[in-house]
Chains A and B, each alone.
Chain A
Amino acid sequence: MSDIGLILVPDETRPTPQLGRQAFEKRALKSGFLTGVTWLLALVAAVPLFSVIYLLLVRGGTRLFSSDFAEIITGLPPAGFEMGGGIGPAIVGTLVMVGIGAVISIPIGILAAIYLAVLEPRSKVANTARFLAKVLTGFPSIMAGVFVYGVLVKTWGYSAWAGGIALSVLMLRTVVLAAEEAMAQVPQRMKDAAYGMGCTRTQVILKVVLPTGLPGILTGVLLAIAGASGESAPLLFTALFSNYYISQLSEPIASLSILIYNFSGMPFPNQIELAWTASLVLVLIVLVFNILARLVGQPKV
């Protein structure tokens, strides 16, 4: 009984822990300070984006949304001291090459993703291909240009084909990884139900997996298109540049990004203004595909 007596110390002698919140305690101040720093970091990080958008609208927008809108969109790039001019061939060129890239990369990408996600997800081939697609994502985009230069350009010269194929190398990785993820998320039960009805694997894929994974696949495809539209490094020495509209796909071809690169270093105000205008058009194209990707990718439920 004396044991309990020892434990029951009178209240006054026991130290009372401070459980209340103390606003000006050192650790609370530190926490508040770091919160402030984080807010600052986040706000500062948003500055470049708004600065870029503001300048695109001010320096590119004034020229684009003026009376010579038609000339800008359809005209040929100006030479030296020439005034006026437009970026028509470059807009067409970018769209043509992204089109070639899409036509090549989308079917191969989706088919490869079908293999990775549905047919043999755990096989050695699938694991290797998946890993390499991720490694390709980290490859510098200029390597696609170097590669296509060695394979095609050295023999057949600069062409729209070469540019488009260089873009397809870059688009392939995006399409494969996005499509695989979308199809891997299709519930096993849906596939099992289809198998249970006696479907062949092809029927399961075409009638169940592809339609169910479609939003995710489309998101990947649209993001690949958006990314390819803005690429410039792989086009530098595959598509080169041209001041005229293309008549054949086997000729050098203009693109918005190379036009911006070329004009940005010129000492003529007219060209620099056009570089800003072309930037605005390019960013608009990229953003349209980006926003479309977000819209189609939103879960329906």
Chain B
Amino acid sequence: MAKLFEAAGSASSVSGPPTTAQYLSDRVFRGIAAFSALLIIFLTAYILWEVSWEASPAIAKYGLGFITGTEWNSNKEVFGILPEIWGTLYSSLLALVLGGTFGIGIAIFLTQDFIHHRLATIFRTIVEMLAAIPSVVFGLWGIYVLIPLIKPGAEWLHEHLGWFPLFSTDLAGPGMAPAALVLAIMILPTVAAISVDAFRRVPYKVKEAAYGMGTTRWEAILKVMLPTASSGILAALVLGFGRALGETMALAMLIGNSDQISLSLFSPANTLASLLASTFPEADQVQVQALMYAALILLLITFIVNVAGLAVQQYTIRKFEGKK
């Protein structure tokens, strides 16, 4: 007993109030951490400001006519990005239809007990690996595998169904169809991952209740699981769309970089991001200003789409987990 008290009072004890040095280092450390968090806010603001600033001469010069103009000619210093805006939205929409269908299908496949959970893990890894493959590699694959592969089919469609606006031109090589296909492959992992999350958030009891009433598996999925997970799936689609809007390299390699507005799947087109990628490195000062304007518009479009997607996602999380 006596020994115990001795130990507490002896000099070997480490207990005691923090020293001045510890107080100071604590203050400094917390200050640095707060500064780093502020840096993220500062960085985002700086990106927005910098791009707007660089674009301001072009904004002053071309005004809103820049958005409705259809010609990009650096020799005449005429710049308009309507074809690029159209190409960006059209390619992303096509990719969303395709990638969204597959993404949601895979999310159902992975979460609704179709396969053993070990097999599901392997499958999930495959989808995640798809997300890990760099954009340029998909571009290369698109040029040398996908385009030759879809060319005969595209020619047949154009020959026999050429009156239909989607098939009104011939696929000469790069074009909307290969670009949208690769884009669909690239957004599939995003859509699938967020949809899987949405299905996981549906309480298990809900599914049990449906099965308990004698539904078939698909009645349970279509009438109970999908409606319950709908807001999460919507978030997946919106965020996937946002991803598609900004995708650059694969599109720059596959879409043909031609300023056309066409409904045809086989005509070459252009997107805002691939315009930046293909024109920026050789641009002169006037053209750089115009490109900055185009970048600003891309930034605004993706910003709106992403904030909308995040808002829906946040709403879903609150719906199932209660307000935190």
Contact = CB atoms under 8 A, between A and B. Distances in A.
Contact of A111 (B33, B127, B219, B305): B33
A264 interface: yes
B83 interface: no
A264 B281 CA distance: 17
Given A116-B37, A150-B292, A282-B137, A28 B23 contact: no
A20 to B, nearest CB: 11
Contacts, number: 256
A150 B245 contact: no
A56 B133 CA distance: 11
Given A35-B114, A264-B140, A287-B132, A143 B126 contact: no
A283 interface: yes
B51 A143 contact: yes
B33 A233 contact: no
Interface string B37-74: 11111011011001101100000000000000000000
Interface of A: 19, 27-28, 30-31, 34-35, 37-39, 41-42, 44-46, 48-49, 51-52, 55-56, 59, 108-109, 111-112, 114-116, 119-120, 125-126, 128-129, 131-136, 138-143, 145-147, 149-151, 169, 172, 176, 198, 200-203, 205, 226-227, 229-233, 236-237, 240, 257, 260-261, 264-265, 272, 275-276, 279, 282-283, 286-287, 290
Interface of B: 15-18, 22-23, 25-26, 29-30, 32-41, 43-44, 46-47, 50-51, 53-54, 101-102, 105-106, 108-109, 114, 123, 126-130, 132-141, 143-145, 185, 188, 214, 216-219, 221, 239, 242-243, 245-249, 252-253, 273, 276-277, 280-281, 291-292, 295, 298-299, 302-303, 305-307, 309-310
Given A31-B218, A41-B102, A283-B134, 20 more contacts: A38-B108, A41-B105, A111-B32, A112-B37, A112-B40, A115-B37, A126-B37, A128-B41, A129-B41, A147-B46, A172-B40, A200-B25, A201-B30, A202-B26, A230-B135, A236-B281, A257-B134, A264-B140, A279-B134, A286-B132
